[in-house]
């Protein structure tokens, strides 16, 4: 009997070590970026645009913000809609088809999405490098994660509760918004946060759709290229100037801080709103 509990201890210890290893690697990468980007972190990068070999990050920050916001808007509507359809309305063949398609979509390289949209939107439809093209690229890239997480979360609503609601006379729309959503909210949020993280950190889809701009983004949906932080990271790191490298790392640092604070805020907000509703 003793070896069973020793075994038990062993596995749990290993699992904790794995968790610590994961967090440790995160800190290592964060430190790597922070040390190199720190010299460039003056307050002025927040209100100067990129110019010359370095400059500021104002245009990139504003651009990233715009692209991700519009992209999230699109992917939330389409992604959640798809997940709801899968769970509540779809016939069995519909369920597997859509799930299958979404899984395939997750395997498409970011460059293929970007280049496809370049040919379709930027060239064929004549949108030029634009906010909408970039946001669409991000939305397509984020879609699988949002749909799958929402799908899994909505499916996990206990059948007893769901059927109880139906028994009380609730119709599907009511069940979805008043029963399923609150229960699945944490999972849906996870999907959105993971998707945002992945979307914000991608370069290839945006290079061919949003292009790049050395200026603050106009809010025009088409014919106006938009800057974004990952471009700075990808391109300025290839410059032969130390100042450019610092700016690149500063951009990466800002990205990571943005993701972290968003995650933390969103989760805390969710915990708070759910506990205040007596859910936990």
Partner 1 sequence: MIQRPSRLQRPNAQIALGGLTGIAALTSVLIIVLMLVFLAIYAYPAIRFNGLGFFSGTIWNIGNQYGSGSVTRNGFSAEPGAVFGAVVFIFGSVATSSLAMIIAVPFSIMVAMALVYRVHPRIRPIANALVELMAGVPSVVYGLWGMVVLVPLIARLPGAGSGNGLLAATIILALMVTPIMVATIRDVVLAQSATIFEASMALGGTSWQAVTRAVLPSVRGGVVASVLLAFGRALGETMAVLMVCGSAINSLPQNIYQPVNTIAAVIVSQLESALTDSSGMAQRSLAELAVVLFLITLAVNIIARVALHGADRSEGQ
Partner 2 sequence: MRKLSITALALGAALLCTPLAQAANARLLETGSSLLYPLMNLWVADYQKGHGVQITTQSTGSGTGISQAISGVAQIGASDAYMSDGQMKGTPMLNIPLAISAQQINYNLPGLNNTHLHLSGPVIAGIYSGQIKFWDDAKIKALNKNFASKLPHHEIVAVHRSDGSGDTFIFSQYLSFSTPSWKNGPGYGTTISWPSVSNAVGANGNPGMVQTCQSTKYCIAYIGVSFLNETNKAGLGYAALLNRSGNFVLPTAATISAAAKALGSKTPRDERISLVFAPGAQSYPIINYEYAIVNPKQADPSTRAALKEFLSWTVDAKGGQQERFLSSVHFLPLPAAIVKLSKAQIDKIE
Of residues 93 through 132, those in contact with partner 1 by CB under 8 A are 94-113, 115-116, 119-120
Site for partner 1 (CB under 8 A): which residue of 55, 63, 71, 187? 187
CB of 184 to partner 1, least distance (A): 8
| Closest among 239, 270, 170 to 280, alpha carbons compared | 270
51 lies in the binding site for partner 2 (CB under 8 A): yes
48 lies in the binding site for partner 2 (CB under 8 A): no
224 lies in the binding site for partner 2 (CB under 8 A): yes
134 lies in the binding site for partner 1 (CB under 8 A): no
Q: List the end-to-end C-alpha distance of the chain, in Å, as a whole number.
A: 37
CA distance 122 to 130: 8
Nearest to partner 2 of 20, 29 (CB atom): 29
Per-residue tokens: 67: 């692209």
By a kind-dependent CB cut-off of 5 to 8 A, residue 69 interacts, out of partner 2, partner 1, none, with: none
Site for partner 2 (CB under 8 A): which residue of 103, 123, 163, 271? 123
Nearest to partner 1 of 49, 154 (CB atom): 154
Per-residue tokens: 244: 């450019």
Per-residue tokens: 122: 């930027």
By a kind-dependent CB cut-off of 5 to 8 A, residue 49 interacts, out of partner 2, partner 1, none, with: none
For the segment 34-73, give every residue that binds partner 1 (CB under 8 A).
none
182 lies in the binding site for partner 2 (CB under 8 A): no
254 lies in the binding site for partner 1 (CB under 8 A): no
Site for partner 1 (CB under 8 A): which residue of 66, 135, 153, 250? 153
85 lies in the binding site for partner 2 (CB under 8 A): no
Site for partner 1 (CB under 8 A): which residue of 40, 72, 142, 147? 147
Which residues lie closer than 8 Å to 190 by C-beta, 6 or more apart?
149, 153
By a kind-dependent CB cut-off of 5 to 8 A, residue 44 interacts, out of partner 2, partner 1, none, with: none
Site for partner 1 (CB under 8 A): which residue of 5, 91, 167, 276? 5
Site for partner 2 (CB under 8 A): which residue of 36, 85, 215, 266? 215
By a kind-dependent CB cut-off of 5 to 8 A, residue 219 interacts, out of partner 2, partner 1, none, with: partner 2
Residue showing tokens 């290229």: 225
CB of 220 to partner 2, least distance (A): 4
CA distance 122 to 165: 48
178 lies in the binding site for partner 1 (CB under 8 A): yes
By a kind-dependent CB cut-off of 5 to 8 A, residue 211 interacts, out of partner 1, partner 2, none, with: partner 2
């Amino acid at each position: 009997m003793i070896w069973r509990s020793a075994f038990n201890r062993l596995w749990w210890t290993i699992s904790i070590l794995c968790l610590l290893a994961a967090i440790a690697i995160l800190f290592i990468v964060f430190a790597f970026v922070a040390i190199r980007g720190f010299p460039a972190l003056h307050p002025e990068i927040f209100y100067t645009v990129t110019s010359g070999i370095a400059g500021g990050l104002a245009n990139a920050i504003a651009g990233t913000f715009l692209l991700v916001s519009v992209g999230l808007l699109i992917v939330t509507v389409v992604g959640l809609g798809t997940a709801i359809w899968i769970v509540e309305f779809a016939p069995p063949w519909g369920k597997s088809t859509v799930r299958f398609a979404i899984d395939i979509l997750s395997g498409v390289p970011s460059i293929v999405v970007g280049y496809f949209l370049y040919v379709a939107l930027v060239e064929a439809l004549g949108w030029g490098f634009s906010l909408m093209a970039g946001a669409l690229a991000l939305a397509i890239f984020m879609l699988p994660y949002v749909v799958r997480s929402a799908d899994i979360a909505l499916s996990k609503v206990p059948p007893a509760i769901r059927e109880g609601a139906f028994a009380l006379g609730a119709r599907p729309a009511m069940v979805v918004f008043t029963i399923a959503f609150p229960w699945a909210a944490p999972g849906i949020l996870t999907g959105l946060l993971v998707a945002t993280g992945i979307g914000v950190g991608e370069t290839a889809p945006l290079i061919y759709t949003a292009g790049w701009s050395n200026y603050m983004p106009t809010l025009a949906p088409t014919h106006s290229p938009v800057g974004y932080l990952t471009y700075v990271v990808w391109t300025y790191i290839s410059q032969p100037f130390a100042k450019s490298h610092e700016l690149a790392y500063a951009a990466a640092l800002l990205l990571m801080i943005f993701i972290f604070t968003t995650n933390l805020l969103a989760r805390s907000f969710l915990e708070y709103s759910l506990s205040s509703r007596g859910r936990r």
